[in-house]
Amino acid sequence: MKSFDETAQAQARARQDSLTKPPGSLGRLEELAIFMAGWQGTDRPRIDRAQAVVFAGNHGICAQGVNPFPVEVTAQMVANFNAGGAAINQLARMAGADLSVVALELDRPTADFTQGPAMSTAEVLAAMAAGADTVDPQADVLILGEMGIGNSSVAAALAAARFGGSAADWVGPGTGAVGDTLAAKIRAVDTGLALHRPAHTAEQLLRAFGGREQAAICGAIRQAGELGLPVILDGFICTAAAAALTADDSAALDHCLIGHESAEPGHRRLIAALGKQPVLTLDMRLGEGSGAAVALMVLRAALECHNGMATFAEAGIGG
């Protein structure tokens, strides 16, 4: 992974303290600008090119009745993304991000993780490579999102396997699971945990539970880390995928921001386990990179203030 530039960080902090405001008065906006400075290696970080990628996959765990919508919706939503009709299309446009959608073998779902591993090692590595290949080395920031009916069950299983606890600690409604469907999710995740624990590495976690979009997210994050490219993660599903990487390296997500705290109940617990702070809390739980795109707007605001404000000396303000 490319190292964080502490000199640029210090220079950016010194600039923040010289701007025409009380030190610290812009709160998190100041810290976001300093974060970007360290990863870009300059005291004047910029976002000229923002890339947004949504990965989509299908899941064998849907055979356990964990999903209130049919698996066909994944492909239908991919078509909607490509036609410009989804929330992420509007938010990416507003945030100034170039959006691409990567569908990963939607006609070949992963296996049911209550019966065996969701993927083979070769499938995990192929999906990670596909994710890495999407990363634009010319980008200044990368937004990651996902789409896949059933993938909130995968996220709950990944989070529980990585950080402990039972299914009930991590499973939430996802796209609206209640009653029998929610109970089926909890049973399925508990069954998968009993079958696959212990899983000690990122590859083992992804092989056990899937899915292809989660593995692609991991591949994209690793590639971005090699480039020193800051990443904005979306909600629970995206963060749970990313968290698998910390099984191999506790610093694997140092270049990542969590765009928002999802309304999905496991997300707050997951954020705390990672020791991070979300940029926003808006009670969103849509996925598809939507919360991360809104966070990009805040990140742009942070850099506009950092780069555009006058210093006390420039403004002729003393005392």
Where is 103: in which H helix or E strand?
A: strand 97-103
* Integer Cα distance of 259 and 99 in angstroms: 16
123 is catalytic: no
**Burial letters for 183-219: b for 16+ Cβ neighbours within 10 Å, e otherwise?**
ebbbbbbbbbbeebeebeebbbbbbbbbbbbbbbbbb
277 three-state secondary structure: coil
**Which residue is catalytic, options 123, 261, 264, 288?**
288
64: burial class by Cβ within 10 Å (0-12, 13-18, 19+)?
A: buried
Q: Is residue 299 within 8 Å of residue 232, measured between CB atoms?
A: yes
Q: Is residue 211 within 8 Å of residue 147, measured between CB atoms?
A: no
In Å, what is the CA distance from 139 to each residue of 136, 143, 304?
A: 5, 10, 18
Q: Which residues are tagged catalytic?
A: 288
